[in-house]
């Protein structure tokens, strides 16, 4: 049997601060009644219910470290010992020179994990497709190596927009750590026959002097649809299939989710265009494939940019395993990763034989339910903070995460630390003790406040 390449596990992380988007909309409309029509329309179009946002001490780097630490709490043997690449995909970098991947390596080492130094770290960027490009890079490098090597790819981002704009309700934050291996345990990817589309457009961008992104909402949606069509056409040519046959033969689909309704709109349009399905038939097709069970979870998190596809993928596989059990093995999945500015990457994957053993150890209910019901004042503090490039320093006494930004040196260098969360027992990562398995840091319940 020839070797395959792909994802052996996914460990997501989302910050625990959460606020309902209706709370945001109501506050903005109370202040300026002229905004009511705009926010009502935005709520209807996006389908968003809530967003997660960083607590003090959290930034793109600490979220990446949280996800990676969780991953290596489970894969603490060969996967860690053979680690060759740490790649972070992000569009909310914390330094114009040093990659988040290097900061993550240091944080993990200081936490006690035996991260080797015979590896390379780098960062990939293309808006929300950055982590997908990082995943392709890891797969290519590991696939061509004669050695048994592994890669850590982390998607991490914080979506932040101007306040009092309708884009405000599509903010969000999150990270996902992927273990990349030969003969993967979760999802084998056909990276050699990916479909691509790329154009130079201005649907979305963030100037280097701005913490908040600039987005042309309707135009960006048009770009998403157009690039979906062209990447699907390119994929079809490489597979010697028709676009319709690719869609029909896909047991599951996973798309970039900038807001809850975007992938639904894209799939309804594609199913009508290529398969002749009306809205009712498209909804039935998507329902049968667990689409709504997954996308509804993103409605409670918001846009995690490069991480959104992989958060969606984790929720989808989690729900499908709960529904199908071991019958999930061998199912095919179509992945579509969009990055504004813009690019679309489309590829197919196959659920690996060991996937049930991997998925059954996930606890995504805890991920969703362990949140802090934040007040508007908490949210306002975040939106009005300078961010220091997406992160506010914090002391250990009020931190809500294991890794945190504790200082910004006089020369601008970011300093990170780790410790157990206040009020919780210290737990050791299994890699600290003969690389044996152990439980990860427990979540606190949603009644606690900063």
Residue whose token pair is 């972070």: 88
* Residue 314 reports pLDDT greater than 90: yes
Q: What is the dihedral of CA 335, 340, 344, 350, to 10 degrees?
A: -20
* Residue 270 reports pLDDT greater than 80: yes
**Residue 239, by phi and psi: left (phi above 0), alpha (psi -120 to 50) or beta?**
alpha
Going through 283-426 in order, the beta strands assigned E by DSSP cover 332-339, 343-351, 372-373, 403-408, 414-418
- Residue 424 tokens, joined: 């919780």
Between CA 204 and CA 206 the distance in angstroms is 7
* Residue 450 reports pLDDT greater than 70: no
Secondary element (H or E) of residue 319:
helix 308-324
Comparing C-alpha atoms, which of 390, 371, 380 is closest to residue 58? 390
In the structure, what pLDDT confidence band is assigned to residue 433 with cuts at 50, 70 and 90? very low
In the structure, what pLDDT confidence band is assigned to residue 47 with cuts at 50, 70 and 90? very high
In the structure, what pLDDT confidence band is assigned to residue 388 with cuts at 50, 70 and 90? low
Alpha-carbon distances, residue 240 vs 234, 235, 283 (angstroms) = 10, 8, 28
**DSSP-assigned states of every residue in 51-88:** EEEPPTT-BHHHHHHHHHHHHHHH--SHHHHTEEEEEE
pTM for the complete prediction?
0.92
Average pLDDT along the chain: 91
> Are the CB atoms for 345 and 193 separated by under 8 Å?
no
Least confident piece of the model among 246-260, 266-280, 430-444: 430-444
Between CA 265 and CA 262 the distance in angstroms is 5
Paired with 405 in beta bridges are: 416
**How far is C-alpha 374 from the chain's CA centre?**
22
pLDDT over 90 percentage in the chain: 85
Residue whose token pair is 């929720």: 315
What are 356-374's pLDDT values in tens digits? 999 999 999 999 999 999 9
Predicted pLDDT of residue 442:
30
- Residue 211 tokens, joined: 């913490």
Residue whose token pair is 């909309």: 25
Predicted pLDDT of residue 385:
81
In the structure, what pLDDT confidence band is assigned to residue 395 with cuts at 50, 70 and 90? low
* Residue 420 reports pLDDT greater than 70: no
pLDDT, average across residues 68-95: 95
Residues 6+ apart with CB under 8 A from 360: 321
Between CA 311 and CA 177 the distance in angstroms is 10
Predicted pLDDT of residue 423:
42
In the structure, what pLDDT confidence band is assigned to residue 439 with cuts at 50, 70 and 90? very low
Between CA 428 and CA 439 the distance in angstroms is 8
In the structure, what pLDDT confidence band is assigned to residue 386 with cuts at 50, 70 and 90? low
pLDDT over 70 percentage in the chain: 89
Between CA 389 and CA 337 the distance in angstroms is 25
Predicted pLDDT of residue 357:
98
Fold classified for 5-377: Peroxisomal Thiolase; Chain A, domain 1 (3.40.47)
Residues 6+ apart with CB under 8 A from 244: 274, 275
Comparing C-alpha atoms, which of 230, 212, 190 is closest to residue 338? 230
Between CA 446 and CA 286 the distance in angstroms is 32
* Residue 378 reports pLDDT greater than 70: yes
Please provide residue 76's backbone torsions phi and psi, each rounded to the nearest 5 degrees: -105, 10
Predicted pLDDT of residue 431:
43
The more confidently predicted of residues 296 and 210 is: 296
* Residue 391 reports pLDDT greater than 70: no
**How far is C-alpha 17 from the chain's CA centre?**
17
pLDDT, average across residues 120-126: 98
What are 152-175's pLDDT values in tens digits? 999 999 999 999 999 999 999 999
> Are the CB atoms for 233 and 271 separated by under 8 Å?
no
> Are the CB atoms for 4 and 190 separated by under 8 Å?
no
- Measure the CA angle with vertex 336, ends 292 and 232; round to 5°: 115
Predicted pLDDT of residue 76:
87
Least confident piece of the model among 91-100, 209-218, 341-350, 427-436: 427-436
Predicted pLDDT of residue 438:
31
Predicted pLDDT of residue 209:
86
């Amino acid at each position: 049997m020839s070797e395959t390449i792909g994802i052996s596990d996914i460990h997501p992380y989302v910050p625990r601060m959460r606020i309902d988007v209706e709370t945001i909309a109501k506050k903005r409309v109370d202040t300026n009644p002229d905004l009511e029509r705009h926010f009502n329309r935005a709520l209807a179009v996006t389908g968003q219910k809530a967003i997660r946002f960083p607590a003090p001490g959290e930034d793109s780097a600490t979220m990446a470290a949280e996800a990676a630490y969780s991953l290596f709490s489970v894969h603490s043997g060969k996967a860690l010992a053979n680690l060759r690449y740490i790649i972070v995909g992000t569009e909310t970098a914390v330094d114009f020179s040093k990659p988040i991947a290097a900061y993550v390596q240091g944080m993990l080492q200081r936490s006690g994990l035996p991260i080797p130094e015979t590896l390379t770290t780098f960062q990939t960027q293309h808006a929300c497709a950055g982590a997908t490009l990082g995943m392709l890079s890891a797969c290519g490098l590991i696939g061509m190596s004669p050695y048994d090597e592994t890669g850590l790819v982390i998607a991490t981002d914080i979506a932040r927009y101007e306040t009092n704009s309708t884009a405000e309700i599509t903010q969000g934050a999150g990270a996902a750590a992927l273990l990349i291996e030969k003969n993967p345990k979760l999802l084998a990817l056909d990276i050699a026959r990916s479909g691509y589309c790329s154009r130079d457009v201005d649907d979305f961008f963030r100037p280097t002097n701005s913490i908040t992104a600039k987005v042309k909402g309707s135009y960006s949606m048009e770009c998403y649809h157009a690039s979906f069509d062209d990447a699907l056409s390119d994929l079809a040519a490489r597979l010697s299939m028709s676009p319709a046959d690719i869609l029909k033969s896909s047991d599951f689909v996973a798309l970039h989710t900038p807001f809850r309704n975007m992938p639904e709109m894209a799939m309804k349009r594609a199913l009508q265009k290529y398969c002749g399905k009306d809205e009712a038939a498209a909804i039935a097709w998507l329902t049968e494939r667990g689409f709504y069970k997954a996308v509804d979870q993103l409605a409670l998190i918001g846009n995690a940019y490069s991480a959104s596809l992989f958060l969606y993928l984790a929720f989808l596989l989690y729900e499908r395993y709960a529904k199908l059990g071991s019958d999930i093995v061998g199912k095919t999945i179509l992945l579509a990763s969009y990055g504004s500015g813009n690019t679309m990457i489309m590829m197919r994957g196959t659920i690996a034989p060991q996937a049930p053993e991997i998925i059954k150890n996930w606890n995504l209910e805890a991920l969703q339910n362990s949140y802090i019901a934040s007040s508007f004042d908490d949210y306002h503090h975040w939106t009005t903070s300078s961010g220091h490039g997406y992160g506010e320093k914090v002391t250990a006494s009020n931190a809500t995460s294991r890794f945190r930004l504790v200082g910004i040196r006089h020369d601008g260098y970011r300093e990170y630390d780790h410790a157990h969360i206040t009020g919780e027992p210290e737990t050791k990562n299994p890699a600290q003790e003969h690389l044996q398995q152990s439980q990860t840091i427990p979540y606190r319940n949603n009644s606690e406040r900063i």
